[in-house]
Amino acid sequence: MTTDNSVFLFKFGQKLEIVQGDLTEQKVDAIVNAANEHLLHGGGVAGSIVLKGGDIIQRESIDWVKNHGIVTHENPAYTSAGRLPARIIIHAVGPVWGSGNEDEKLSAAINGSLMLAERLNLNSIAFPAISTGIFGFPKERAAVIILQTIRKYFSDNPSSQIYLVRLTLFDQVTYQNFSQAFNKIFLSS
């Protein structure tokens, strides 16, 4: 189930949507996994992605780390999406709350995911509320940072081929936090 409420069109036609729904059901080129630096997908969003998409995602993730080293906030990894409707999974490392410089790390994870989608010639991408689950990042604060980072990305890259960014939020509380931040950032300015 996906309900669609908040939509913003950027100057050059790219669209930002905020929906409440299941990230693993999104029919987009890429979904973003809220990953840890070793790409061990045990719980939260990552666990759900592997459960629904299949063990191939975990195997490819292990291979990625063997070949490229641990994943940083700025430089996400990517794998196939297994049985999921998306084609690609971008594995973005969000910050653990209390680790220091959390705002900058979260912004780097969002920006890095968008840059990787661009390099992979993808047109649509869906994000969860990275770091707001087991990593403990406050939802209200994360909403503002994620939305501001997306806005800045399209401001800096007006000819981006990414035509759709969908923030796919699983629970009502997170959806409300993002909707409130969306209204302040995009509708009041």
Residue 148 CA to residue 142 CA, distance in Å, equals 10
| CATH number of the domain bearing residue 6 | 3.40.220.10
At 1 the pLDDT is 34
At 61 the pLDDT is 97
For 144-161, write each residue's pLDDT tens digit: 999 999 999 999 999 999
Overall domain count for the chain: 1
For 17-49, write each residue's pLDDT tens digit: 999 999 999 999 999 999 999 999 988 889 999
At 43 the pLDDT is 84
At 3 the pLDDT is 45
Q: Which residues of the chain have pLDDT under 50?
A: 1-4
Outline where 21-124 has alpha helix (H).
Answer: 44-53, 56-68, 102-119
15 CB neighbour count, 10 Å cutoff: 15
Tokens linked to 61: 């993730």
Supply the range of the domain harboring residue 181: 2-187
Tokens linked to 15: 């669209």
Residue 127 CA to residue 78 CA, distance in Å, equals 14
At 188 the pLDDT is 74
